[in-house]
Amino acid sequence: MRQKKILFVYRTKRRQIFRAWEKGKTPDSLLFGANHLKNMRHAVDFFDWAYFPLNPMHSLLYPLENTIINQTGMGFKLDQAITLLPILNKYDVIVGTGDSAGLPILALKYYRILKKPVIFMTAGLAGALKNKTNTRVGKFYKKILPCADIFTSYAKVEIDFFENEMGIKRGKIIHIPLCTDFKYFSKKSHLKRNIISSVGTESGRDYKTLFEAVKNLNRNVEIACHPDNIRGLKIPKNVTVHLNIPVEKVRNIYQRSIFTIIPCVEKYRSSGQMVLLETASAGLPIIVSNIKGLTSAFEFKENKHLIFTNPQDPRDLRSKINFYLKNPDKAKKLGRNASSFVKNHYTTLHLAKQLNKFIIKI
């Protein structure tokens, strides 16, 4: 196999994450397989240049990005693409991880400034463009998306959207599931398990339903989220909220949990996937909303790996909580099954191997 020069383009800085992962202090999930591809004898690079405070491209191009954010709720980091422009054509393959980082790379290819193969990994663009496909931004994205040499999505429901609403040729988009750092999240702990947990900061989280379901429950509940997730909500007395905590404290919550809940609103896009994989790796019994962003992403089976709850249905969620509380042995068995399933199918090494199949053919 010939060594390839690969450039990963991320939507935020990654150097600090890579160094912390090397020391075992953080998971490698946000590297999206780059570290493993290095071990496959490829020359893999990524750079944080665009995020330097004095980068003039950011202030110059931010008005454009802000306009796109106002229309879609998702960024368009053209400042990063322009900053990397002097080196882009020196690589054999460019991997755009995430929409705000990858879309500007596709724009450069559309205008024939970039001539190298691009792997574009979408993660939520379908939801951002729902009912907006005929806006100026939507029409522009219809032009640039076909420029991806390899176009991947974490959920099949997003593939349906791109084919039906964005005119992407059927079969062009490949489903590659999101993956996680199994070793990091499956680390054993001697902490006492005495809480119910719920973790997640993305906009699709439904803590309103969760709070209604656990109100007056004779169990302590801990959630980790962003302030926007709970804005305007009344927090029950048995719920403790942690805001914007680092991943090591998130893992601590997992290690103290008897089971976890992932409440989501149906947005027909990737949602809740990272936390599902993390908590499954940790061996936690899981209650998760039955949304297409999850059911079309993974092959987890109800009553074998986890149990589903109806979205935005606090009564159904409460019944599922009671089921786990009354059947702890059954709950633990599902948690063990889910952990083994992630280990065998959804680690970051699995993701790297799938990317490698495409890289060696490009």
| Neighbour tally for 31: CB within 10 Å | 25
pLDDT band at 271 (very low <50, low <70, confident <90, very high): confident
CB–CB of 291/266 below 8 Å? yes
d(Cα 250, Cα 256) in Å, to the nearest integer? 10
Confidence check: pLDDT of 206 > 90: yes
Q: What pLDDT does residue 20 have?
A: 96
Residue 231 CB partners (closer than 8 Å, separation 6+): none
Q: Token pair of 59, please?
A: 């202030």
- Angle 226-227-233 (CA atoms, 0-180°, nearest 5)? 120
Amino acid at 27: P
Q: What pLDDT does residue 2 have?
A: 75
d(Cα 211, Cα 188) in Å, to the nearest integer? 29
CATH 3.90.1150.170 fits 182-345, yes or no: no
Rounded mean pLDDT of the chain?
95
**CATH 3.40.50.2000 domain position(s) in the chain:** 5-179+347-359, 182-345
In eight-state DSSP terms, residue 53 is T
Average pLDDT over residues 142-150: 97
Confidence check: pLDDT of 252 > 70: yes
**DSSP E strand boundaries for the chain:** 5-9, 43-45, 93-97, 118-122, 150-153, 173-175, 195-199, 220-225, 239-243, 257-262, 286-289, 307-309
Average pLDDT over residues 232-242: 97
d(Cα 270, Cα 295) in Å, to the nearest integer? 10
Average pLDDT over residues 122-145: 94
pLDDT digits (tens, 9 = 90+) for 40-68: 989 999 999 888 888 899 889 989 999 99
CB–CB of 195/221 below 8 Å? yes
pLDDT band at 173 (very low <50, low <70, confident <90, very high): very high
Confidence check: pLDDT of 180 > 70: yes
Q: Is 3 exposed, middle or buried (0-12, 13-18, 19+ CB in 10 A)?
A: exposed
State the residue for tokens 């973790």: 199
d(Cα 130, Cα 222) in Å, to the nearest integer? 32
Share of the chain above pLDDT 70, in %: 100
Average pLDDT over residues 161-178: 94
Confidence check: pLDDT of 244 > 90: yes
5-179+347-359 fold = Rossmann fold (3.40.50)
Share of the chain above pLDDT 90, in %: 91
State the residue for tokens 């439904």: 206
Q: What pLDDT does residue 1 have?
A: 62
- Three-state DSSP class for residue 173: strand
Q: What pLDDT does residue 229 have?
A: 97
Residue 333 CB partners (closer than 8 Å, separation 6+): none
Q: What pLDDT does residue 52 have?
A: 85
